[in-house]
Structure 1
């Protein structure tokens, strides 16, 4: 197992101790069929994902998005006329009202993974979501399982007058003694310690890096305020809290 895959598996099993018991792996034939649709080698992280939970994600399953190889291969057989070789479907949006499916942009590899985007089948409109599927899964797992376990929570945004919000935030991470269980780029952050946790994200759309949306949790409201105070003091970032 690649060290980066080992990191996210440790994170998932720490958040959901029996998660791996609910996973159903894709078969070698499944993976070969997905790779044939891609027309090139799969990102290493996606290959890991398929070999662990390619047929069923268990506790990590999304409410309306089907990441199973069965659904993806069915879509390629029945719904595609001329697939775009740049984009590989990895998650099928089952809500017909908003049919924005999850894809890899295979022309944008990154850290053994690839850019994750949403788009409708045959549509030219593409929305950039996460730099990697690894970040997307870790972010969702923290939102679903880590933050709800903490007594006090808030969400909002960090901003500054120029680009580099994520780089500035890094200045406070050591002082706050947060660990970063998986590597992330400038558009995402996964932070954890025994009494608090935070996730940050903004679309990697190529725009100015001057805002980062966050969800923060701690074991008391006072600790929540102290964490935000350290961040503003150490980084000079402006903090805006969303109304509940």
Structure 2
């Protein structure tokens, strides 16, 4: 994650600021369990400031998390831990860890109202959320040409069939991911794939592809389609 974020997000190293270890321990006491090791890494790296990686209306800071519990906006819960406060009053869906769904030294990120019960899952892990967001914002959205659509397979982990195809095209996977997410990058192009856990959408993932030339995007999509390891649908 260090390597991915520092090469992808401009000026991040100068602007991210971590929380003090004592502050991290306060959050751990609220959670009532050891924090996922990735969340501990995140707090020590970006618990005070996420720099250019910050979300417009979501506050992931350790200070905000502690303030929300201190003001009793949210109550300690053995299953859920607040990790980001949503300031949009029209849709105040704050982000929580769901400890009932641990994954790879991390946990599922879901959203709900402060005292609500209805869940809207976002990512299988916070690691995938941050990496997907960084590549989407700083690579795909800034690419000269983009394409988006969906991928579909016959099994829940069908994206493993796509991995060798992308590798043959020169793409690397900067971090390991689960069945709902894939991140592929090479110097001139990047592709991000995402599905929503527990959504009931079946074996389908949305993708966004960005590249330096229209020709390269066509070649990438053409190779994926001709390999026939996934069903490709291009929307734009």
2:31/2:76 contact within 8 Å kept: no
For residue 130 of structure 1, the aligned residue among 123, 133, 138 is 123
Say whether residues 1:215 and 2:208 are aligned partners: yes
2:25 alignment partner in structure 1: 32
**TM-score, reference length from structure 1:** 0.91
CA distance in 2, matches of 1:81, 1:144: 30
Q: Which of structure 1's runs of 4+ aligned residues deviate more than 4 A?
A: none
1:165/1:209 contact within 8 Å kept: no
Say whether residues 1:145 and 2:138 are aligned partners: yes
Where structure 2 has 5 or more consecutive residues not aligned to the other structure, the ranges are none
Tell me the SS of whatever aligns to 2:218.
helix
CA distance in 1, matches of 2:43, 2:214: 40
1:164/1:209 contact within 8 Å kept: no
Please, what is the CA RMSD of the aligned residues?
Answer: 1.7
CA distance in 2, matches of 1:26, 1:81: 21
Say whether residues 1:202 and 2:195 are aligned partners: yes
Shift of 1:241: 2.2
Where structure 1 has 5 or more consecutive residues not aligned to the other structure, the ranges are 1-7
Tell me the SS of whatever aligns to 2:129.
helix
CA distance in 2, matches of 1:225, 1:84: 49
The 3 A distance-change label for structure 1 pair 33 and 162 is closer
1:45 alignment partner in structure 2: 38
Of stretches 172-181 and 45-54 in structure 1, the one that deviates more from structure 2 is 172-181
2:19/2:44 contact within 8 Å kept: yes
**TM-score, reference length from structure 2:** 0.94
Number of matched residues? 236
1:181-231 deviation per Cα after TM superposition (whole angstroms, max 9, x unaligned): 000001001110111110000101163641110000111111101101111
Tell me the SS of whatever aligns to 1:46.
helix
1:172/1:235 contact within 8 Å kept: no
For residue 115 of structure 1, the aligned residue among 108, 120, 125 is 108
Tell me the SS of whatever aligns to 1:181.
coil
Of stretches 125-134 and 167-176 in structure 1, the one that deviates more from structure 2 is 167-176
